[in-house]
Chains A and B, each alone.
Chain A
Amino acid sequence: MRVVVDLNRCQGYAQCAFLAPRVFELHGDEALLYTPAVPAEQHERVLRAAAACPVQAIVVGEQAGAAGVR
C-alpha cells in the first residue's frame, strides 16, 4: 500500500497523525511528513486516517502500475 498527501490541501490539523502516528507525523508546528510505503500492520489505521482527513488530502492505494491495477 502506498500513500500520498496533497500538501496544498493539507491544513496541518493532524488528525492523520493521531490515527496513524507511525505513518503521518508533524514536523514542527505544521509541516506534515509521511511514510509513502505503508507497512501491512498500518493499513487499517491509514485507511481510517484518510477517511478522517477533513480536507480529503490523503490518497491511498496499491502502487500505481502494479499487477492488480495495471
Chain B
Amino acid sequence: MTVLEDAPAAGQAPAPETVPQVDFDTDPAQYRHWRYEVDGETAWVYLDVAEDGGLVPGYELKLNSYDLGVDIELYDLTQRLRFEHPEVRSVVLTSGKDSNFCAGANIRMLAQSSHPWKVNFCKFTNETRNGIEDMTANSGQTWVAALNGTAAGGGYEMALACETILLVNDRSSAVALPEVPLLGVLPGTGGLTRVTDKRHVRKDRADIFATKSEGFQGPKAVEWKLVDETVSRKQWDETVRARAAEAAQGSHRPSDAQGIALPPLRREETADSITYPNVRCELDRDARTATITVLGPEPGTVPESLDRIHALGADFWPLAMTRELDDLILRLRTNELEIGTWLVRTQGSIEGALAFERVIAEHSGSDWLVNEIRHYFKRTLKRLDVTSRSLIALIEPGSCFAGALLELALACDRQYMLEGIFEDADEEQEPAQIVLTESNFGAFPMGNGLTRLQSRFYGDDETVAELHERTGERLTGAQAEEAGLVTDAPDDIDWEDEIRILLEERASLSPDALTGMEANHRFVGPETMETRIFGRLTAWQNWIFIRPNASGAEGALRRYGTGRKADFDQKRV
C-alpha cells in the first residue's frame, strides 16, 4: 500500500457511512483498470488505473493506485488466464502508464474507510497475491514483474508476488515500502513477509528498506535482492521479452489446447437469499446466520470422457459449484458483516460426489483443466479457512459430505452430524453418512501446508494414518464421532435443541474474540509464508489500523498529505 501526493480536503469527514454492496462480477470488456494481451505463450498484463474509477466516491485513483475495484478486476483476470488461456505459460505484469508502475493502495481510500472495509480489502488483495504465486507454482503460468517505473508500497507488494522482478534502471525509478515512515502502518499485503521469507533479504537491510520512504533504485535494489535484475530503458523491452520466454520454459501447459469460457454466474438474489444453480444461501438476519447449502452432482451426470469435461467447461459441476461458492464467500464476507455464523450444508447423492471425485483424481495430474479446477477448489477452501466467521457444518440425511466436499465440513470450526434420521421427516431417509477419500489426504492443503485432517489431528499422525485406511467407508454419525471426524452426533431427539442453543450461544459471544479464537484454532502447527501473512502480518496490521497513531484524527494515516505531522502517542505497546 502507499503514497499519494494529494491531500484529503480539509474538514472532510473520513468514513462515508454508506458502503456499497460490492459486486465481484466483471469481465475483460468491463475492465477499467487493466488490460491484457496474449502473445504466443506470454500474456502481457497492463495496470492502467482510471483515476475516476474508484469503487466508492471520495478519492481519485492517481498514480496507478488501487482500491478494491481494481483488485476485483485483477482477480478476474487471473481466473481468465488460467481457464480461458491454456496456451499462456508466462505472464508479464507491467504498467500501462509511462511515469510509474504503481503507487499501491490509495491512501485517501484507506483514510476514509471503516476498519472492516480495510480488513476485507487487505484480505482479498492478499488472497489474489497468493493466487498469483499459486499460478506460478501449480498452473504452469509463471509471473514476471516488469517494473517500468516506481513500484511503491502495494505496488511493490504486487511485484513481490511474481516469480521474477525486473526494475528499469533510469536513475529515478525505485522500489519502496514507505508505509512505516509515511503512513504509520505496515506494508500489509505480504510486503514485509515476502521481503524476508521469499526474497531472503537480511533483516537489518529489510529494516532499512522498510523505513526509507524513497526506497532504492535499480543497482542497490539488485544488490539487496529486492529485485532480480535492473535493465536500462534501451534494453528494457528486449530483456523483458527474453525473461518472459525463459519463464515460459518448463511449463506443463499444453500447446494445442482450447480454453474454456467463464460466462457470468447465474445468481438470483433477494433480500435474504442468494441462489445459484449449485449453491444456495439463506440469511437469517435476526439470528445473524447464513445457511450455505452446496448441492452435489447427480450420480448419472458424471462425464464419461475428458472431451466431455472440456465440452461442458464452466458447466462441469465441480467448476460450476466452485465458482458459485467462491462468489458467495466473497459476497457474504464483504457485504454481510453482521452475519457472524455460517452453517455449511451439502445436499445430494454421495454416489454422485464420489463419481466426480474419481474423474478428478484420474485426470488432475494430466489434464490442465482438471488440474485448474482442483487448485481452484483448494483456493476456495483456503478462503473459508481465513474467513472471520464462525463456521459450523451440519451433516444431515440427504447430505453428500464425501471426499472433496467433506473438506468443506473439515474447514469448519465444528461439525455436527445427525445420528440416525429425522423421525418426522416427510420422505424416507437414509441416515447421514460421510466418506473419506484420497482427496482428504493431500489434494487440498491449507495455508499451513497441512491437510485439514493433519491440522485437526495435529501431532497425531497415527490417527491420520488410521483414517487413511478407512477411505471409502461410509461412516454414520456415531462412527464419525468415534473417529474424531465430527464434534458431536446428536440424534433426532436432541438435534434441534443442541443446534439452536449452540447458535444462540455463539451469537452472544464477542465477534472480535471469536475471530481471533477461530483463526488461532484453524491454523495449527508450522508457519508458512501464507500463515505468516494472514496470521502475523495481518494481525499486526489490523491492530495498527485501529490504533490512534494510525487512524486517530492526529494519526499518520489521517494526517498524511495535510502538511501536518502526525502526533504520536509515544508509548511503545
Please indicate whether A and B come from the same complex rather than being unrelated chains: no
- B residues with CB within 8 A of A: none
